[in-house]
Structure 1
Amino acid sequence: MIFFYSYIGEANEYFKKQQYDKAIELYTSAIELNDSVAIYYGNRSFAYLKTECFGYALQDASKALELDKTYVKGYYRRASAYMSLGKFKLALKDYETVTKTRPNDRDAKVKYNECQKVVKMLMFQKAIAVDDDKKSVAESINLEAMVIEDDYEGPRLEDGKVTEQFMKDLMEHYKAQKKLHRQYAYKILLDVKDHLMKQPTLVDVKIPDNSKFTVCGDIHGQYYDLMNIFQLNGLPSSTNPYLFNGDFVDRGSFSVECIFVLFGYKLLYPEHFFMSRGNHESVTMNQMYGFEGEVKAKYTAQMAELFTEVYNWLPLCHCLNNKVLVMHGGLFSGDEVTLEDIRKTDRNRQPPEEGIMCELLWSDPMPSMGRAPSKRGVGIQFGPDITKKFLERNNLEYVIRSHEVKAEGFEVAHDGKCITVFSAPNYCDTMGNLGSFITMTGKDLKPKYTTYEAVPHPPVKPMAYANSILSLFS
């Protein structure tokens, strides 16, 4: 019994210090010694929630309730996992159970009411949606009606076009925490949408032998760290091409600034600046984790809807010199998937819960062989044998993906065949991780890693614009 108390007490201390991985390790040790105690699973579920392993959190909460149906925190944990996965009706059911069990619990009542509001809102949105006849937001935009005020002193498009000088002025403008005029912001979005609609789902990128090419991972609205990448590696240009591998927005509270800089460079250098869709370029993620709220605060709800239309056209992956495949998430639940299957995938939609598009955006590598259910509850986990088979089937050398925080900013796994790159240092101002980007030349495509620490940013906390419903997770 003393071992149990030692593990749990130590795990709880690590949890308080936000060292969640260590806490999970110790909760797991306690479970291995006695797998019939609901609170052990409940505690580990909470730690998994903090590390965004929502699938594992859901499994542990359900196991805790299987062991003890009266364990109220188990319902809390499971509801939080359901909320994180966008399964709001199931979350509501668990919160309802808590309120019935504890009718005088004010906190439970607040959680139930807030979750109920979300379910009602989603039901209303579904009721008024007319998918086939719904007019595109882009078609409703009237740029001429957006008058540029005389006192506007920010950057201006030249004849409606992005220029190198405009981009330099825009970045300085944003550093000073100023806003781009709405007419120019809308114009950039409309032009980017037109360009992306002409792109394939899988973009083939040719890198000349002696040319450098840079791949960046998640940025997550950390604008000042994005500026540091350009400081370290040079501004994008026709001779300094970049690929940003999804999750440009959410969590960080400068997501608007990040996305307009990235889209601006996409317009300025369309053949030398590339962007892959991430799992956070989606409606549900944007509603929960801040981007939608930030766009509404800095511009309008109409612009938030336009962003959704634009994100739907982002390519899902890129193939470098026919040898390196770059996607945000990872590989697939079946061995038969080919590059041609990816090319044929319809991407102009919200990410589905299964299939090629889902797995490209959500899957993660794991060290063990085979496949396993996703720790996130969406996509899959895939082992080194799965990577090897996919590469051999498609005549590829290795894959690059992002999607996961790594202490050093990158991780080389699966015998060097699966590389993770994550470019948001000190993620959410709490993780303490380094950021990283990858550079290579076309001649050998050998990856080289540059790591860096977070730089200071104005006193706006991450998640400042996030949906208040996230308070339910605590």
Structure 2
Amino acid sequence: MFGYLCVCMHVSLCVCVCVSLCLSVSVYCLCVCFCVCLCVCLYECQTKYGNANAWRYCTKVFDMLTVAALIDEQILCVHGGLSPDIKTLDQIRTIERNQEIPHKGAFCDLVWSDPEDVDTWAISPRGAGWLFGAKVTNEFVHINNLKLICRAHQLVHEGYKFMFDEKLVTVWSAPNYCYRCGNIASIMVFKDVNTREPKLFRAVPDSERVIPPRTTTPYFL
């Protein structure tokens, strides 16, 4: 899993589920960069557990998750995109991970950059990272002997979107984002580097949603 985004009433629960999948012997889960609405998570943890301890544990886990991951050495999974400071995969491996995401530099770019119809690089309207085009993507894929770059970070109403002659794919796994976008979500399944299949799914209907209890859980006291 290369992108985790949770803006809902169950942030801490979603985090625990994802971490448990990583520890499972039957599921291999690539946790690359978790993006989470920490303000929502803090409020939720204080409401559910009566203090911020669970929130602190979550943020410590986030600071240790890897920046990127490789599938069979040929599919790069990253949350955002590419960086003008990164030419090879070895340069990604040298990034000091045990820290908060900085406001600029290679680490920041890998989390915040977006693919766009530009020649090479362009300033990102996000205020962090860069916009990068097909030429940059093709060069990076060629230099590092990759078949595909998988990333998240941008809402795609159809759940996923290929770009740049299918050298890059955006996979969005949050259905009905922020409870109002009405989008489909997807998970990309790889049987091998040449065989991929998007699994599409929709949000749970409002009638089936579970409202968390207001009673305080003493687990993290």
Deviation at 1:302, TM superposition (A): 2.1
Q: Could you tell me how far 1:317 is from its partner in structure 2? A: 0.9
Greater helix proportion: 1
Q: How does 1:279-298 map to 2 (within 5 A)?
A: 279-280=35-36, 285-287=37-39, 290-298=40-48
Which runs of 5 or more residues in structure 1 are unaligned? 1-243, 462-474
Distance of 2:20 and 2:65 partners within structure 1? 15
Aligned match of 1:415:
165
Who is 2:16 aligned against? 260
Q: Which amino acid aligns with 2:120?
A: G
Q: Does 1:452 align with 2:201?
A: yes
Question: Over residues 235-293 of structure 1, what are the superposed CA-to-partner deviations in whole Å (9 max), with x where a residue is unaligned?
Answer: xxxxxxxxx222343x211112111111112222387222111343xxxx412xx1121
User: What is the alpha-carbon distance in structure 2 between the residues aligned to residue 318 and residue 380 of structure 1?
Assistant: 20
TM (norm. structure 2) is 0.88
Whole-angstrom CA distance in 2 between matches of 1:278 and 1:337: 23
Gap change, CA 1:460 and 1:404, over 3 Å in 2: farther
Structure 1 pair 271–339 and aligned structure 2 pair: CA distance change class (3 A): farther
Q: Which residue of 2 aligns with 1:118?
A: none
**Per-residue deviation at 1:412?**
0.4
Does residue 186 of structure 2 align to residue 429 of structure 1? no
Once residues 459 and 416 of structure 1 are traced to their aligned partners in structure 2, the CA distance between those partners, rounded to angstroms, is 39
CA spacing shift, 1:271–1:431, aligned 2, 3 Å: closer
Q: How does 1:141-290 map to 2 (within 5 A)?
A: 244-249=1-6, 251-269=7-25, 272-280=28-36, 285-287=37-39, 290=40
Which residue identity does 1:379 align to in structure 2?
A: G
Unpaired segments ≥5 residues, structure 2: 213-221
Q: CA deviation at 1:422?
A: 0.4
Amino acid at match of 1:451: L
Answer yes or no: is 1:382 the counterpart of 2:139.
no
CA–CA separation in structure 2 for the residues paired with 1:307 and 1:258 = 11
Cα deviations by residue, 1:120-153 (Å, 9 ceiling, x for unpaired)? xxxxxxxxxxxxxxxxxxxxxxxxxxxxxxxxxx
C-alpha separation in 2, matches of 1:372 and 1:459: 43
Q: Give the C-alpha shift of residue 337 in structure 1.
A: 2.1
Change (3 A) 1:440 1:459: closer
8 A contact 1:248–1:258 mirrored in 2 = no
1:415 positional shift: 1.2
TM-score by length of 1: 0.42
Equivalent residues of 1:373, 1:380 under 8 A apart: yes
Identity of aligned residues (%): 30
Preserved contact between residue 436 and residue 450 of structure 1 (Cα < 8 Å): yes
SS state at 2:84 partner: coil
Structure 2 CA distance for aligned equivalents of residues 424 and 312 of structure 1: 22
How many angstroms apart in 2 are the aligned matches of 1:245 and 1:293?
25
**Aligned partners of 1:279 and 1:362 also within 8 Å:** no
Confirm whether residue 322 of structure 1 aligns to residue 79 of structure 2.
no
Aligned equivalents of 2:108, 2:211: Cα separation in 1: 32
- Structure with larger RCO (C-alpha < 8 A, sep 6+): 2
Number of residue pairs matched?
A: 209
Deviation for aligned residue 1:380: 0.6
Distance 1:373 1:266, change over 3 A: same
Question: Which has more radius of gyration?
Answer: 1
Deviations 1:321-345 (A, max 9, x none): 11010001000124x5211111110
